[in-house]
């Protein structure tokens, strides 16, 4: 069985950080001192047990490279960030610095993709006595309007989120639910839309029209409106179904419902 070599890269990095190193010159100086040590002092260290050398490196990693207070903060603020950091640390300790960094980056990218492709789409209600619409899950006592569902998209509308939006709208205005005859889509949280997102919104409009559900847009930002206009989506909605805020959209639908009831 061959003994594995003991690496000093982590302890050297820890020493540089503890000494306040800020440039590549510090690494060059450290390398120079390491060479001098190997040439002049190697015989003095050759008899040290491997366990002693390992203890030096472990001490450097635990007390020099791992920011324990920051780990405590991550655990308190966001548990997922804490577990990603722990996975990266375990990767460093078990397989090396590069492996640990790759693990941390890979897990962070997976989480980023998940967050980007699964945006929140809460149903909204109106705070009593105001024109403010809020998440009904957090505020179950807020006002709702018979036959009208208000939903907000909290994220970009692009190729990765278009299908999720369509599924959400279909679930809220299902044909078997005869009570829902109108939907208001609040786009306040949408800062970005691409060509696929615009096409998907057009498909959602086709679906709602096919089941005789009125679809209205609220709080469309100028950058988003520009893309939707160039794709012809805004023309399909028409100015009477695009509103500056959710309150106006709901009131417009209530007026339309009243006109239909009187006719």
pLDDT (0 to 100) of residue 243? 97
pLDDT (0 to 100) of residue 48? 75
pLDDT (0 to 100) of residue 242? 97
pLDDT reading at 7 higher than 80: no
Confidence (pTM): 0.71
The residue with tokens 């460093």 is 92
pLDDT (0 to 100) of residue 27? 67
Tokens of 262: 């009187």
Q: Does domain 124-262 have CATH number 3.30.750.24?
A: yes
pLDDT (0 to 100) of residue 192? 93
Mean pLDDT of 160-189: 90
**CA distances, 181 to each of 143, 165, 214 (Å):** 17, 18, 6
Residue 145 to residue 199: CA distance in whole angstroms: 29
pLDDT in tens, 73-103: 999 999 999 999 999 888 877 887 788 889 9
The structural domains of the chain, with segments of one domain joined by +, span 9-117, 124-262
Residue 138 to residue 30: CA distance in whole angstroms: 56
Between 109 and 176, whose confidence is greater? 109
In 3D space, the residue among 134, 130, 125 whose CA is nearest the CA of residue 154 turns out to be: 134
Mean pLDDT of 125-134: 95
């Amino acid at each position: 069985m061959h003994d594995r070599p003991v690496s000093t890269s982590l302890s050297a990095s820890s020493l540089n950080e503890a000494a306040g190193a800020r440039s590549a010159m510090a690494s060059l100086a450290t390398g120079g001192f390491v060479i001098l040590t190997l040439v002049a002092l190697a015989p003095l260290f050759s008899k040290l047990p491997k366990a002693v050398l390992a203890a030096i490196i472990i001490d450097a990693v635990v007390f020099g490279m791992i920011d324990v207070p920051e780990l405590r903060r991550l655990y308190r603020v966001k548990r997922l960030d804490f577990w990603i950091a722990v996975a990266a640390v375990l990767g460093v300790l078990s397989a090396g610095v590069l492996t640990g960094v790759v693990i941390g980056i890979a897990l962070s990218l997976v989480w980023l993709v998940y967050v980007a492709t699964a945006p929140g789409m809460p149903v909204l209600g109106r705070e009593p006595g105001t024109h403010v619409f809020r998440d009904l899950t957090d505020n179950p006592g807020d006002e709702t309007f018979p036959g009208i569902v208000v939903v907000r998209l909290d994220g970009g509308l692009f190729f990765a989120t278009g299908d999720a939006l369509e599924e959400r709208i279909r679930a809220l205005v299902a044909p078997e639910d005869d009570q829902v005859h109108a939907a208001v889509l609040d786009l306040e949280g949408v800062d970005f839309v691409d060509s696929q997102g615009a096409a998907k919104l057009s498909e959602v409009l086709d679906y709602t029209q096919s089941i005789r559900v009125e679809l209205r847009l609220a709080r469309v930002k100028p950058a988003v409106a520009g893309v939707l206009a160039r794709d012809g989506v805004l023309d399909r909605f028409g100015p009477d179904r695009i509103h500056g805020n959710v309150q106006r959209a709901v009131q417009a639908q209530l007026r339309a419902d009243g006109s239909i009831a009187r006719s």
